[in-house]
Amino acid sequence: MNDAVTWLEVLLNDIHPAVQFVAVGAIAVVPFLESYVGAMVGTMAGLPVPLALGAAIVGNVLALLVAVELGSRIAARLATTRSEQRSERHQKIVDRVDRWGVPAASLIGPVVMAISVTAFVMAAMGLNRRQVVVWQTVSIVAWGALFAAFGAGIFAMLGGA
């Protein structure tokens, strides 16, 4: 196992840090890999934790913004094609989910579903875009930091620098 870590360190030392940053960011754009896998892979590969975490956050936030935009467009399209307005009861439910459900779904959601998929669904439901983006970004940072720490620990256990 130490040979693999050494090989990975040697390989990464030959790659410019900007390319390393982009590679980790590219991992984080992919649903179900996102900031947590990107940050963990980056740190396990020997990248400094702030660099790996930063790249993973940037990549995942880009995917998040695209997902929220697409979900919002679907919500807007559905709103214009509906013949009747939302009932008062339906609006109260959406408001309640806006208030309490977005933070919970954002922070716990990655256990069940990808962050960008969760954001897409919430935006398509017509939930507050700002809340979705803010809470999903908090989730991206929290999960990314947690897995960056795991990756750094695994890297250290395997004999990395």
In the prediction, which pLDDT does 161 show? 58
In the prediction, which pLDDT does 59 show? 96
Give the pTM. Answer: 0.80
In the prediction, which pLDDT does 54 show? 96
In the prediction, which pLDDT does 11 show? 66
Measure the CA–CA gap between 14 and 99, rounded to whole angstroms. 48
pLDDT(85) > 90: no
Measure the CA–CA gap between 23 and 21, rounded to whole angstroms. 6
Measure the CA–CA gap between 109 and 146, rounded to whole angstroms. 15
pLDDT(104) > 80: yes
Give the C-alpha distances (Å, rounded to integers) separating 117 from 29, 84, 101, 136.
12, 28, 15, 11
In the prediction, which pLDDT does 51 show? 93
Per-chain mean pLDDT for the chain: 85
| Cβ atoms 136, 107 nearer than 8 A | no
Q: Which amino acid type is present at position 49?
A: V
- Helix H or strand E encompassing 135: helix 129-157
Q: Mean pLDDT throughout 111-120?
A: 91
Measure the CA–CA gap between 10 and 21, rounded to whole angstroms. 16
In the prediction, which pLDDT does 15 show? 79
